[in-house]
Amino acid sequence: MSRQIILHVGHPKTGSTSIQKNLAAERKQLEQLGFLYPKTSIIAHNQRVLLVDIFGREEKNLSIRMDAESGDAMKMAGSEWTSIYHQVANSDARKVILSAEGFFPRKLDRVSGNRLNQRLEAMQCNELRVLCYLRSPAKYFLSNAQQELKGGFGLTRPAPLNRVERIKAYKEYLGVDMEARVFEREKLVSGDAVRDFLEWISCSRLKLTHEIIEANTSVSAEAMDVLQQLSVSLDIQNETDIKAQRSLMKILKKLDAAIENPTKPKLHPEIEEHIIAINTDIAELRDSYEIEFADIDYARLGTFRSRGEPRIESVRDICQLDPARSDELKHQLESSLFQQGLRGRPIEA
């Protein structure tokens, strides 16, 4: 039987979790339509655990989920590949979808590229498509900063990411041209990543039996500020810590929605210009791959300059926000956490 692998590699913060959770929710219907979305035992809605086997390292929160030392984690990831091989062999589906947004930030090299190629060849599929969504560098930084803060991991700093190098690496090591789309609501089918992805893989016949599952919803700039202050005293080390952080986020989101006049997160102009300046592949993305971001003034592209590493010690250094609203949100969160026995001391500023 001829089979096609659809490898969805991200990029992070481009609707990947929503796509994955909706695919997982519709596994039975997908198989009826000829698509297999394999299960893994570590994370139910995606195949992120496979990254450990390919790249030989894992993110901190993934290693916590796996609850294993590095060597054991590699064995566990290898076992997940074996499970996927069995699922493919026992399925009549002609298309196999693998999705893990952590693939794109990690550049394939000779070792990881050959490893991934061997793993995919073992699935005995005769065609490969590699798909990714790309977001502008500034919007990605802001969205990722929110996600890190919501996870309790503190404030990230801007860093360059050469997207062109990663696209070329898949051509070099897997022999395929990565298909890339811009992640902007105006350019997505129905303004939605899930429907756009289904259209892209020729599976628009899938009837979503649930409301489209949204993931990683944003919070106000003031909520980011409170989370950054809270992260100073956090140390996420195990699954219990992760669950406690999720409980905290539910409380914070509810309080954030109840307090009037939230500030939508928006980068200070000098931070945005710095991010554009250090990401040097923007023109090549447009010229070679027709990837153009709406929030970038391409006429000014050669004039963007970094004035050196910006001072970033708090959310207030990257975003406009209302300090009074932030203080009120912090006070209400402290009171709520204390009442529920989740914290016994004030949030450190």
For 49-105, what is each residue's pLDDT tens digit? 899 999 986 555 565 555 555 557 788 889 999 999 999 999 999 999 999 999 999
**pLDDT attached to residue 212:** 61
Share of residues in the chain with pLDDT > 70 (%): 90
pLDDT at residue number 61: 55
Share of the chain above pLDDT 90, in %: 72
Categorize the per-residue pLDDT at 345 as very low, low, confident or very high, splitting at 50, 70 and 90: very low
Whether residue 334 has pLDDT greater than 80: yes
Task: Tell me the mean pLDDT in the region 17-25.
Answer: 94
| Extended strands (E) in 189-297 | none
pLDDT band at 210 (very low <50, low <70, confident <90, very high): low
End-to-end CA distance of the chain: 61
In order, the DSSP letters of 284-344 are HHHHHH----TTS-GGGGGG----SS---SSGGGTB---HHHHHHHHHHHHHHHHHTTS-S
Between 229 and 239, the more confident residue is 229
Say how many C-beta atoms besides its own lie within 10 A of residue 116's C-beta: 21
Is the Cβ–Cβ distance between 149 and 91 less than 8 Å?
Answer: no
3-class secondary structure, 228: helix
The domains found in the chain, sorted by start residue, are 4-200 (3.40.50), 221-264+319-339 (no CATH)
Q: Does the pLDDT value for residue 349 go beyond 60?
A: no
Residue 63 is predicted with a pLDDT of: 56
Q: What pLDDT is recorded for position 58?
A: 57
When mean pLDDT is compared across 36-40, 174-178, 234-238, 277-281, the lowest value belongs to 234-238
Three-class secondary structure of residue 230 per DSSP: helix
What is the pLDDT at residue 344? 46
pLDDT tens sequence across 234-276: 676 777 777 888 888 999 999 999 999 999 999 999 999 999 9
Q: Is pLDDT of 41 > 70?
A: yes
What average pLDDT does the segment 301-328 reach? 91
